[in-house]
Chains A and B, each alone.
Chain A
Amino acid sequence: NAGVTQTPKFRVLKTGQSMTLLCAQDMNHEYMYWYRQDPGMGLRLIHYSVGEGTTAKGEVPDGYNVSRLKKQNFLLGLESAAPSQTSVYFCASSHGGGLFFGSGTQLSVL
């Protein structure tokens, strides 16, 4: 039982490049979330999903897209990366109570 697994752990992009962050959970949770965390700040919700095939916008959705084709996976895409998207990205899942977080992806956009 691995919990919430994020890949990759680190990535460096050039401005304008695209990439996809993968989140996988093995707890059969319905709800999944993508947050970003900037230095010295709390977590801000980007997008979330309340079930397979559904997605919704969070607090800071601009510049990101998501997909939940399978219940256990939640993908976060950056179509054209910008320096403002340099951050640590956390995925989380929930059964309807507290969130369980992955270990994060450190993304730098140059």
Chain B
Amino acid sequence: GESVGLHLPTLSVQEGDNSIINCAYSNSASDYFIWYKQESGKGPQFIIDIRSNMDKRQGQRVTVLLNKTVKHLSLQIAATQPGDSAVYFCAENYVDSSYKLIFGSGTRLLVRP
């Protein structure tokens, strides 16, 4: 079946640097994408979302980019902080009425002090 996947399982960055986490999706019919952050022992936490009619969306220190041509999604975190250390998941929503999300396998972000 179609799925969402990630290129890198672990990303290590220096505190203060920018982080980029990538995600590839295979379902061209997906119209809504979300990035989640999951800290150890906790449930996923919503970070930012983007609809398929947009290429870019910015939040506080985070930016999501969507390239529908190559079916690629990325999460950029500016001035990465130790509190950003977590596992990040991208998720896609198929075009139906259930709003269910299909998740990728996750990327672990490690921030070096």
Q: A residues near B, CB below 8 A?
A: 4, 31, 33, 35, 40-45, 48, 50, 56, 58-59, 90, 92, 94, 96-104
Contacts and interface: CB of A to CB of B under 8 A. Distances in A.
Nearest to A94: B99
B22 to A, nearest CB: 15
Nearest to A33: B100
A99 B46 contact: yes
A31 B99 contact: yes
A60 B61 CA distance: 35
B34 interface: yes
By CB atoms of chain B within 10 A, which of A33, A58, A97 has the most? A97
A102 B38 CA distance: 12
23 contacts: A31-B98, A33-B101, A41-B105, A42-B103, A42-B104, A43-B44, A45-B102, A48-B98, A48-B100, A56-B98, A58-B100, A59-B102, A92-B43, A94-B99, A97-B32, A97-B49, A99-B44, A99-B46, A99-B99, A100-B46, A101-B43, A103-B42, A103-B43
Contacts of A56: 98
Contact of A42 (B32, B99, B100, B105): B105
Interface string B2-33: 00100000000000000000000000000010
Name the interface size band of chain B: 20 to 34
B98 A98 contact: no
Contact of B44 (A31, A41, A101): A101
B14 to A, nearest CB: 25
A4 B32 CA distance: 22
Q: What are the 5 A-B residue pairs with the smallest beta carbon separation, nearest first?
A: A101-B43, A42-B103, A43-B103, A42-B105, A98-B46
